[in-house]
Chains A and B, each alone.
Chain A
Amino acid sequence: MSITPDPKFDEMRQADGSIRPAYRDYVTWLDEQDQSLMRRKNGEAESFFRRTGITFNVYGDEDGEERLIPFDMVPRIITGSEWRRLSRGIEQRVRALNAFMHDLYHRQEIIRSGRVPQRLFSNNVAWLPEMVGFTPPGGVYTHIVGIDLVRTGPNDFMVLEDNARTPSGVSYMLENRETMMAMFPELFSRIPVQPVSDYPARLAKSLAACAPAKTTGKPVVAVLTPGIYNSAYFEHAFLADQMGAELVEGGDLRVVDGRVQMRTTAGYQPIDVLYRRVDDEFLDPLTFNPTSMLGVPGIMDVYRSGGITIANAPGTGIADDKAIYSFMPEIVEFYTGEKPLLPNVPTWRCAEADSLAYVLDNLAELVVKEVHGSGGYGMLIGPTSSKKEIAAFRDKLVAKPDNYIAQPTLALSTVPIFTQAGLAPRHVDLRPFVLVSPDRVDITPGGLTRVALKKGSLVVNSSQGGGTKDSWVLDD
């Protein structure tokens, strides 16, 4: 398997400099704007974000300073027909993921069939024995999924990662759109863009549809946050606020009469659906990490007796594993009986001897990632690393090959960003957000576009200097 990177694909301009259809109306509008005014607007966006408190905390930062994720005001635009094709592929993948979860925690047909090796999860900390034989309310495991997509050509979208644990970033999707509408209202009256603002209402509805058997009356939904020092606290508060749900911390909750209840000013009240933004490990000190102060002692017992829905279900993090990811084409085919509509990025599993040999021979051209890593940490980007860095990484890889996968360095598509010198192309990815309830898969048109702000950089993670853009799906 060998991949020749395609020549760079820019989503706005074709190789001859002409504008692609998706961006035509936008560029026409942009050409009419006073460029010095646009520069000033660019600065306005930052103060808008600071004032509204849209910040994130960087772990390991000495003074715990709240940072802004830089916002770029040039939208990332996808046509309606591109989106329809994409969403079919996303839905197929998410249905397969959910079926895979159910199978893994029940009969394990996929392992019996030999398509996925046992070793992938038998030693995997994300696989929870506590979930074996248990079916979550409505059979839903992955209530909220973020699928990271990259693009390399006009019709070439690929899945880079599945985020089935607790995908974050949806608040930026919403606030980026609000910011764009506040800064350029006339754009939205000229160009029909599909709205994203109903995401919180869709989320509330989707979560309520997954309420457990013991629910009486209208389901009570709450968002569980680790608290104000968590890097995504803003998002937790934002979503709770927009859904009209309580934002709770572990200290607000306790198990009373077989239900998880929250301490209100009028006494304890049961919660039916808990949208938790706390990792599995910290969810229940009686079942998992005994030192956790973030969870609720006994919540797993309540869960197993049908007293509460936990979203996403504990144990879904296994789908975030990059070794599992490498089997997704097989997984999709196994559960849907169809060929995957959205391909994976080609992936070498270093656990396999042939692949490891290839990877070691081609380190300078490859991207090597930790199987359990996230946030762009602990990875090697061959083409931009020094000989010394590559040599050091080689040692780690040889010592523990099971811990890594490798992928070709893709020529990620570019979208222009606004710089002081004018528009300049930068690499992007896209994370659409998918909601799963017992009867439907609901994908909000758009998502979070992350952009590497540094020229030539392929790392879009906000923790490593990436920014975001408003992502438009045209209503055409």
Chain B
Amino acid sequence: MLGRTANSIFWMFRYLERAENTARLLEAGSRMALTRGPDAANEEWRSVITTLGERQAYEACHSEYSGTSVCNFVLREKENPQNVLGMIEAARSNARSARTSITAEVWESVNEAWMTLRSALQRPVREAILGPVLTAIRREATHVRGATYGSMLRNEIYHFSRCGTYLERADNTARILDVKYYLLLPSLAYVGSSLDTGQWDTVLRSLSAERAYRWLNAGHMDPRGIAEFLILDHRFPRSLAFCYDALRGNLAALAELHGDRGECHALMRDADRALSEATIQSIFDGGLHEFLVGFIAGNQGIANAIASDYRFID
């Protein structure tokens, strides 16, 4: 397959994953804002923007943090170069570039996602329809994933798509955990209060992890346990450990197809070792923030190595 096409496939799935995770973050923020007073709600929306790393861009065109303005900024405003509609457009245009490498089902699902969301985000989103819009984003992304899983040949193309998905997901989980945890630190003194429980609930909800975590822990919210779950639990599909299990498998499949291992495989092996040797104790001893920053950089390194090993660009 062409290196350029591999690049398009990789980014198509990164953008879809990113759009979906951004929608999740807004859903969690929105729920949080509804269950608390207006001041705390604005604080919550600020934290959403911080998590996305978009404070500067946001504050350049908005003077206050409110649900509608944050959501519209994140979802559709052109002043935000990382808006969700732009991600969907980028996913679709990458799919269009790689049209001959995906099945008609995958193409149609991503094309439909674009048509649906473009019309849903054509005008500013009112509070009343925010919920359905966010659901639609998640649903459309899920639809593409399902079509991919159900119709694509398990060849190189499929493995590049999965690499894109899991690298992006690992990055998103690490970022959410990093920012949220950091923001919550001052309130660690309130451990056990309802306020605190609510905030941890948001972290979990941002990653669609609240049900799984509650089920595993009989409803007990423990900051350390949550971090352990999101980083090290191999069963949870958005945890770092899970993402790297999947990434490792797809990279191994690529190595087998090419009969050759590249720099990305070496980096993967190192990252794998670091993750498998880590315990939640060792992570906290070294500093959670330091761990996550290191992880994000390593993740980026693997992505770059994939791009150069497989000739994504000239």
Contacts and interface: CB of A to CB of B under 8 A. Distances in A.
A228 B111 contact: no
B277 interface: no
A280 B245 CA distance: 49
B2 interface: yes
Nearest to A234: B99
A18 B115 CA distance: 45
A229 to B, nearest CB: 9
B180 interface: no
Contact of A51 (B93, B97, B111, B314): B111
B128 interface: no
A246 B2 contact: yes
B104 A263 contact: no
A144 B112 CA distance: 33
A240 B93 CA distance: 18
Contacts of B35: none
Interface in B240-298: 258
B22 to A, nearest CB: 24
B258 A266 contact: yes
A145 B143 CA distance: 40
B108 A52 contact: yes
Q: Which of A50, A52, A247 has the most CB of B within 10 A?
A: A247
Contacts of B112: 51
Given A51-B112, A246-B100, A252-B2, A263 B314 contact: yes
A249 interface: yes
Nearest to A50: B115
B100 A264 contact: no
A342 interface: no
Contact of A265 (B1, B93, B97): B1
A170 to B, nearest CB: 16
A53 B107 CA distance: 8
B234 interface: no
Interface string A255-270: 0000000111111000
Contacts of A263: 2-4, 311, 314
Contacts of A252: 2-4
Interface string B110-152: 0110010000000000000000000000000000000000000
Contacts of A265: 1-3, 6, 156, 258, 310-311
B311 A247 contact: no
Given A51-B112, A53-B107, A263-B314, A251 B4 contact: yes
A240 B4 contact: no
B96 interface: yes
Contact of B3 (A51, A52, A240, A264): A264
Nearest to B109: A51
A83 B104 CA distance: 33
Contacts of A249: 4
Interface in B56-113: 93, 96-97, 99-100, 104, 107-108, 111-112
A53 B93 contact: no
A204 interface: no
B99 to A, nearest CB: 4
A334 interface: no
Nearest to A266: B258
Contacts of B104: 52
Interface string A226-242: 01100001000100110
Contacts of B1: 246, 264-265
A249 B5 CA distance: 10
A99 interface: no
Contacts of B96: 53, 228, 233, 237
A266 B4 CA distance: 12
Contacts of B311: 263-265, 267
Given A51-B112, A52-B104, A228-B96, A264 B2 contact: yes
Contacts of B115: 50-51
Contacts of A228: 93, 96-97
Interface string B188-224: 0000000000000000000000000000000000000
Contact of A53 (B3, B4, B5, B111): B111
A102 B148 CA distance: 48
Contacts of B3: 252, 263-265
Contact of A241 (B99, B111, B314): B99
B2 A262 contact: yes
Contact of B100 (A50, A52, A241, A267): A241
A248 interface: yes
A155 B311 CA distance: 57
Nearest to A237: B99
A238 to B, nearest CB: 8
A245 B2 CA distance: 11
Interface string A37-74: 00000000000001111000000000000000000000
A247 B314 CA distance: 17
Interface string A198-233: 000000000000000000000000000001100001
A249 B2 CA distance: 10
Contacts of A267: 311
A298 to B, nearest CB: 15
B59 to A, nearest CB: 30
A245 B156 CA distance: 16
Contacts of A266: 258
Q: Which of B4, B100, B311 has the most CB of A within 10 A?
A: B100
B158 to A, nearest CB: 13
A265 B264 CA distance: 14
Contacts of A264: 1-3, 311
Contacts of B97: 227-228
Nearest to A242: B100
Nearest to B7: A265
A241 B106 CA distance: 14
B100 A51 contact: no
Contacts of A233: 96
Given A251-B314, A264-B3, A240 B100 contact: yes
Can you list the 5 inter-chain pairs with the closest CB atoms, starting with the nearest? A237-B99, A265-B310, A241-B100, A247-B100, A240-B100
8 contacts: A52-B107, A53-B107, A237-B96, A251-B4, A263-B3, A264-B2, A264-B3, A265-B2
Interface of B: 1-6, 93, 96-97, 99-100, 104, 107-108, 111-112, 115, 156, 258, 310-311, 314
Interface of A: 50-53, 227-228, 233, 237, 240-241, 245-249, 251-252, 262-267
Given A52-B108, A246-B2, 20 more contacts: A52-B107, A53-B108, A237-B96, A237-B99, A237-B100, A246-B1, A246-B100, A247-B99, A248-B2, A251-B4, A252-B2, A263-B3, A263-B311, A263-B314, A264-B3, A265-B2, A265-B6, A265-B258, A265-B310, A267-B311
